[in-house]
């Protein structure tokens, strides 16, 4: 039995079958990059296996050390509540199971590289950078930490040469500096930017990414990139988060409150 902890990637889940297919493709890509490392997938909702089912399967196969990695771009409700609750339940019924919790994916330069890849695939060239405004469109959040992380990502990306980068949400409340995707596109156009591109800051297809694309097209965006998906940058980022957590002391799971 390998001494290296197994990696369990925990995704949100979706009724849209494209979501699970994309997650499995991404996890498969990470698995191929690290032969010998056991990499499995679990979902919080809609898809199987659940977190509990995946941990039970690992446990029954003899695995006692697991790094769990939230397949999330920011630390919001799922990272702070749902995942700790699922891990605490499994740890209570699986004696001797050691669980470490890796950081969420963002922020990371590899995410910016993945965004760049998707824009290039949508038709933008390096020469377009200085004349293109970009809408960084995420699903949306009410968590202050998540909002701040997305705003910071937009600021960092702006420093790489795009003439503007504006954060936007697909749904929910819109904090200061954010708006709907379509409104952000129209605002940039009104400010005089001749070319406006929309880069979805989401991992897999689904209802909210579809809303981002529909809003971008309705507002007349010149370029609409694909979701981050199973990009090589994300696959490397999964392993980077794993490596940062694997040698550490097992994380103490937060106590659950009623």
Question: Does residue 211 share a domain with residue 236?
Answer: no
In a domain, 115, yes or no: no
Question: Does residue 128 share a domain with residue 94?
Answer: no
Q: Is residue 248 over pLDDT 70? A: no
In a domain, 34, yes or no: yes
Cα separation, 188 vs 181, in Å, equals: 11
Question: Does residue 216 share a domain with residue 237?
Answer: no
Question: Does residue 220 share a domain with residue 127?
Answer: yes
- Cβ atoms of 67 and 100 closer than 8 Å: yes
3-state secondary structure of 253: coil
- For residue 21, what are the CA distances in angstroms to 5, 26, 28, 50, 245? 25, 9, 10, 16, 26
Give the structural domain span for 58: 6-105+232-245
Q: Is residue 2 over pLDDT 60? A: no
- In degrees and rounded to multiples of 5, residue 186 shows phi and psi of -65, -40
Question: Does residue 34 share a domain with residue 70?
Answer: yes
Question: Does residue 137 share a domain with residue 63?
Answer: no
In a domain, 252, yes or no: no
CATH number at residue 21: 3.40.50.1400
Question: Does residue 146 share a domain with residue 201?
Answer: yes
Question: Does residue 152 share a domain with residue 194?
Answer: yes
In a domain, 220, yes or no: yes
In a domain, 112, yes or no: no
Question: Does residue 75 share a domain with residue 21?
Answer: yes
pTM of this structure:
0.92
Please give the angle made by the CA atoms of 188, 137 and 15, to the nearest 5 degrees: 145
Question: Does residue 70 share a domain with residue 158?
Answer: no
Q: Is residue 256 over pLDDT 90? A: no
Task: In the chain, count H helices and then E strands.
Answer: 9, 8
Residue 254 banded pLDDT, cuts 50, 70, 90: very low
Question: Does residue 240 share a domain with residue 218?
Answer: no
Cα separation, 183 vs 179, in Å, equals: 6
Provide the CB-side half-sphere exposure for 52 (13 A, CA): 9
pLDDT, tens digit (0-9, with 9 covering 90-100), for 22-40:
999 999 999 999 999 999 9
Cα separation, 9 vs 3, in Å, equals: 19
In a domain, 114, yes or no: no
- Give alpha helix (H) positions in 131-180: 144-158
Question: Does residue 15 share a domain with residue 38?
Answer: yes
Mean pLDDT, range 157-169, rounded to an integer: 96
Count of the separate structural domains present in the chain: 2
In a domain, 251, yes or no: no
pLDDT, tens digit (0-9, with 9 covering 90-100), for 108-155:
999 999 999 999 999 999 999 999 999 999 999 999 999 999 999 999
In a domain, 95, yes or no: yes
pLDDT score recorded for residue 247:
63
Q: Is residue 258 over pLDDT 80? A: no
């Amino acid at each position: 039995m390998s001494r290296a902890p197994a990696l369990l990637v925990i995704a949100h889940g979706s009724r849209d079958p494209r979501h699970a297919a994309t997650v499995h493709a991404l996890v498969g890509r990470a698995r191929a990059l690290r032969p010998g490392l056991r990499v499995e997938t679990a979902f919080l909702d809609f898809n199987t296996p659940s977190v509990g089912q995946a941990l039970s399967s690992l446990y029954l196969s003899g695995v006692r050390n697991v790094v769990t990695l939230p397949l999330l771009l920011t630390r919001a409700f799922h990272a702070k509540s749902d995942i700790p609750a699922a891990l605490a339940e499994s740890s209570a019924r699986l004696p001797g199971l050691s669980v470490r919790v890796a950081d969420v994916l963002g922020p990371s330069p590899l995410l910016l590289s993945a965004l760049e890849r998707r824009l290039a695939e949508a038709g933008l060239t390096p020469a377009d950078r200085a004349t293109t405004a970009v809408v960084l469109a995420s699903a949306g959040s009410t968590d202050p930490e998540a909002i701040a992380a997305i705003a910071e990502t937009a600021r960092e990306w702006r420093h790489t040469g795009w003439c503007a980068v504006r954060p936007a949400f697909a749904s929910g409340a819109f904090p200061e500096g954010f708006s709907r995707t379509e409104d952000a596109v129209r605002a940039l156009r009104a400010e005089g930017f001749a070319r406006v591109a929309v880069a979805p800051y989401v991992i897999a297809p689904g209802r909210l990414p579809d809303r981002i694309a529909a809003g971008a097209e309705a507002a007349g965006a010149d370029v609409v990139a694909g979701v981050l998906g199973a990009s090589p940058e994300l696959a490397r980022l999964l392993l980077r988060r794993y490596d940062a957590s694997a040698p550490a002391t097992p994380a103490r799971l937060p106590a659950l409150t009623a």
